[in-house]
Chain A
Amino acid sequence: MALDNITIQKRLQESFNDSVVNFHEQHGMLVLEATSDKVHDIIKFLKEDSELNFNFLTDVCGINYAEEVESRQLAVVYHMHNWFDNVRIRIKTYLNIKSPTVDSVTDLFKSANWQERETYDFYGIIFKGHPQLKRILNMDTMESFPLRKDHPMEDGGRTDKDDRFFGRTVHNC
C-alpha cells in the first residue's frame, strides 16, 4: 500500500511527540512544523526509516516572516521526496531572528551543503556543523542579509523611481 499522509503523521507523532506540530495538507502535500532542536533528527528519521523512506532532499530555503513575533521571524523550509511511493513533505522550522541557529543536515544529504550556504547568505541563519558556512552568491565582504524583509531592494537614496506613484507602499510593493 502506498504511503499516505496520515501514516506519516502518525509515525512522526509517535516518535517525536511535541516536537512536531501543526500538521496540515496544502495542495496535497503534507506540511508540518518542527522545533529547531529536533529538525535534524526528524529529517534523519524520515530518511532512514524503512517505511517512510524519504530518500531525496529536494530543497532547503529560508523565509523571513517580518510580521511575526521575534521567536518566529525566520524559518527554514525543507522539502523532502520519497521516490518509492512518490510522496512529498514540507518541514518548516521557525527560528528566533536574534539567534537563528539550526543543525545542519549536510551529514545526511550532501545536496544540503550549498543550499544551506545560500540560506545563510540570504537570511543569516547559522547551520551548526556545516563544513563550510560562508557566503556563496553574494560577495564575502557583505554585511547584511539581503533577503530579509528589512533589507531594501534598492538604494534608498534614489529619487528617480518613486513607487508610491503606482499605489505601492513599502508593505505591498
Chain B
Amino acid sequence: MSNLLLPPEERYAKLIEEKFQEDGTELQILNLGPTHPATHGIFQNIILLDGEKVIDGEGTVGYIHRAFEKIAENRPFYQINVLTDRLNYCSSPINNTAWWMTVEKALGIEIPKRVQYMRVIIMELARIADHIICSSVMGVDTGALTGFLYVFQYREKIYEIFEEISGARLTTNMGRIGGFERDWSPKVWQLIEEFLAEFPAIWSEFEGLLTRNRIFMDRTINVGGISAEEAINFGFTGPNLRAAGVDYDVRVATPYCSYEDFEFEIPVGTNGDCYDRFCVRNAEIWESMKIIRQAIDKMPEGPYHADVPDYYLPPKEDVYTNMEALIYHFKIIMGEVPVPVTELYHPVEAGNGELGFYLITDGSRTPYRLHFRRPCFIIYQAYNDIVRGGMLSDAIITLSSLNIIAGELDA
C-alpha cells in the first residue's frame, strides 16, 4: 500500500530487480512524455515494459499547472474568462460560454433567445474543431498522416470564424456577461455558411479514408476498451463514455442555452474501444452540423446581449460623452458589480465530457471559490488501467483516442 507513494521509477526499479532475480526477465522503464509526440501535450507516463507489453504505468501530471483556481479567487468575474480559454484550448468557446452561463445563473440574468442560439453555434463549431483534432490525430498515431493534413484546413476555417467573432483564434475570450461584445458581422454568417457548405464533403472523404480502412480497424478495434460500468465508475463523460454505450449527454440531460429547441441524436458505441470512440466523435460532428444548421435557420431576431447595465459594458461612444455610462464603465472594469451570495454548479457538455464550474460567491468582487470539474483530469486516471497488459503501440493509440488535453488536465 505505502509502496504506491514512492515515485514510480523507484517502485519499478525494485520490481525490475525482483523480476530479474526471479527468472532473468529484463523489464524496462519507458518515459512516455512529458514531451513525447504521442502525448499531444505536456504530461508524463512512466511505463514498465516487458518487451513490448505494458506491465504497469503511472501518470504524472501537473507540468502545466497554472493555479487557475487560486488566480480565480483573486480576479473579478470578467477576468476569469481568459483562464477558462486555457482549459481545453482546442475548444475554448465552450469553456467561455460555460463560464458566462455560470455567472449569469449566479446573478440571475435572463439571456435573449438570439444570444443563446449564437452561443449554440459557436459551441458546436468548437466541438467540431475539437473532434477534428482528435479523430484526425488518431489517424496520425496509426500511421495515416494524409487525413490529418486534409481536414486540418477546416479546423483553420473554424478558427477564422472565431477570429471574425472575437478577434482571437485559439484562446478566444469570447463574450461578456449577458451576451456578446458586439453583433456578428455579415462576414461571420457568410463564413459559417461556407463552412457548412464545404465541410460535409471533406468530412465524408476523411471518414471514407479511415472508417472502413483495414489497417485502421485492425489497430483500433478491441484496443483500449472499457466497459460501461467501469467507465461510469471512473467518472467518464462525453464521447469516451458514449463509446461504451451510455447515452449520457449534458446537452440532453440538463439542457442549457436552449439545446432543447434542436433536433439531434446522441451517437453511442457498444465496445468502448478506440474504434468506437473514433466513430462516436465522427458521428457527433454530423450532429453538430445539424444543430448549427437548425440554429441558423431558426435564428430569432433580437439584441445580441441582455439588457443588464450593471454588468454589460456601455457602448464606447457613450462612455466618452455620457456621465452615467462612464460611471458604469468604470465600475464594471474595476469589478464593482453587485454579486449575490450564492453557490452553484453548472455543467456543460464540452468536447471531452461534462465540464462543470462550481462557483461560490460571498458578495465580493471575486469568487470565494471556483472549482473546475475538468473531464480530462477525471478520465485520464483510468488510462493505466485501460492499457495494462496491452502493447505499447496500443497504449499510444488509446492515449490519442481518449483525447487528453494537457490544459484541461492540469488547470
B373–A58 touching, CB < 8 Å: yes
For residue A173, CB closer than 8 A to chain B, the reply is yes
Cα–Cα distance between A86 and B347 once the two chains are bound (Å): 13
A121 to chain B: closest CB distance in Å?
A: 9
| Minimal Cβ-Cβ distance residue in B for A171 | B364
Task: Given A146-B67, A173-B74, answer yes or no on A113-B381 (Cβ-Cβ < 8 Å).
Answer: yes
Contacts of A56 in B (CB 8 A): 232, 235
Cα–Cα distance between A77 and B411 once the two chains are bound (Å): 19
Cα–Cα distance between A61 and B370 once the two chains are bound (Å): 10
Q: Which of B83-91, B137-145, B151-159, B338-346 contacts A (4 or more CB under 8 A)?
A: B338-346
Cα–Cα distance between A56 and B234 once the two chains are bound (Å): 9
Cβ contacts A138-173/B at 8 Å (1 or 0 each): 111000001100010100000000000011000111
A61–B358 touching, CB < 8 Å: yes
Pick from A118, A133, A153: contact of B70, CB under 8 Å: A153
Contacts of B74 in A (CB 8 A): 153, 173
A27–B254 touching, CB < 8 Å: no
A63–B342 touching, CB < 8 Å: no
Q: DSSP majority for the A interface? A: loop
B62–A136 touching, CB < 8 Å: yes
A92 to chain B: closest CB distance in Å?
A: 9
Contacts of A88 in B (CB 8 A): 345
Task: Given A26-B342, A26-B343, A59-B345, answer yes or no on A77-B61 (Cβ-Cβ < 8 Å).
Answer: no
Cα–Cα distance between A61 and B369 once the two chains are bound (Å): 10
Cα–Cα distance between A58 and B410 once the two chains are bound (Å): 18
Task: Given A59-B358, A131-B1, A131-B4, answer yes or no on A110-B62 (Cβ-Cβ < 8 Å).
Answer: no
Pick from A31, A133, A138, A172: contact of B62, CB under 8 Å: A138
Pick from A31, A133, A137: contact of B5, CB under 8 Å: A133
Pick from A64, A115, A136, A153: contact of B61, CB under 8 Å: A136
For residue A57, CB closer than 8 A to chain B, the reply is yes
B65–A137 touching, CB < 8 Å: yes
B342–A27 touching, CB < 8 Å: yes
B360–A63 touching, CB < 8 Å: yes
Cα–Cα distance between A167 and B235 once the two chains are bound (Å): 42
Cα–Cα distance between A59 and B375 once the two chains are bound (Å): 10
Contacts of A31 in B (CB 8 A): 343
B253–A86 touching, CB < 8 Å: yes
For residue B371, CB closer than 8 A to chain A, the reply is yes
A27–B71 touching, CB < 8 Å: no
B358–A79 touching, CB < 8 Å: yes
Contacts of B5 in A (CB 8 A): 132-134
Cα–Cα distance between A71 and B285 once the two chains are bound (Å): 50
Pick from A57, A118, A132, A139: contact of B235, CB under 8 Å: A57
For residue B82, CB closer than 8 A to chain A, the reply is no
For residue A122, CB closer than 8 A to chain B, the reply is yes
Interface residues of B in 327-358 (CB under 8 A from A): 334, 342-345, 347, 354, 356, 358
For residue B203, CB closer than 8 A to chain A, the reply is no
Cα–Cα distance between A95 and B233 once the two chains are bound (Å): 26
| Minimal Cβ-Cβ distance residue in B for A67 | B362
For residue B382, CB closer than 8 A to chain A, the reply is yes
A115–B1 touching, CB < 8 Å: no
Task: Given A26-B342, A58-B373, answer yes or no on A111-B62 (Cβ-Cβ < 8 Å).
Answer: no
A114–B378 touching, CB < 8 Å: yes
Contacts of A44 in B (CB 8 A): none
Contacts of B411 in A (CB 8 A): 137
For residue B377, CB closer than 8 A to chain A, the reply is yes
For residue B169, CB closer than 8 A to chain A, the reply is no
Task: Given A26-B342, A147-B70, answer yes or no on A83-B248 (Cβ-Cβ < 8 Å).
Answer: yes
A26–B334 touching, CB < 8 Å: no
A88 to chain B: closest CB distance in Å?
A: 7
Task: Given A90-B345, A166-B334, A173-B366, answer yes or no on A114-B377 (Cβ-Cβ < 8 Å).
Answer: yes
A65 to chain B: closest CB distance in Å?
A: 9
For residue A29, CB closer than 8 A to chain B, the reply is yes
B345–A146 touching, CB < 8 Å: no
Contacts of A171 in B (CB 8 A): 364
A61–B366 touching, CB < 8 Å: no
Which residue among B105, B235, B358, B360 has the maximum number of chain A CB atoms within 10 Å of its CB? B235
Given contacts A58-B354, A59-B371, A110-B233, 14 further A-B contacts (CB under 8 A): A27-B105, A27-B342, A56-B232, A58-B235, A77-B358, A79-B373, A83-B248, A110-B381, A111-B234, A111-B235, A115-B377, A136-B61, A137-B62, A166-B334
Pairs A–B under 8 Å by Cβ, sample size 6: A27-B342, A58-B345, A59-B345, A111-B233, A115-B235, A118-B377
In the complex, the 7 A-B pairs of residues with the closest C-beta atoms, listed nearest first: A111-B235, A137-B62, A132-B4, A61-B371, A137-B65, A114-B381, A59-B373
Residues of B within 8 A of A (CB): 1, 4-5, 7, 61-62, 65, 67, 69-71, 73-74, 105, 230, 232-235, 248, 253-254, 334, 342-345, 347, 354, 356, 358, 360, 364-366, 369, 371, 373, 377-378, 380-382, 410-411
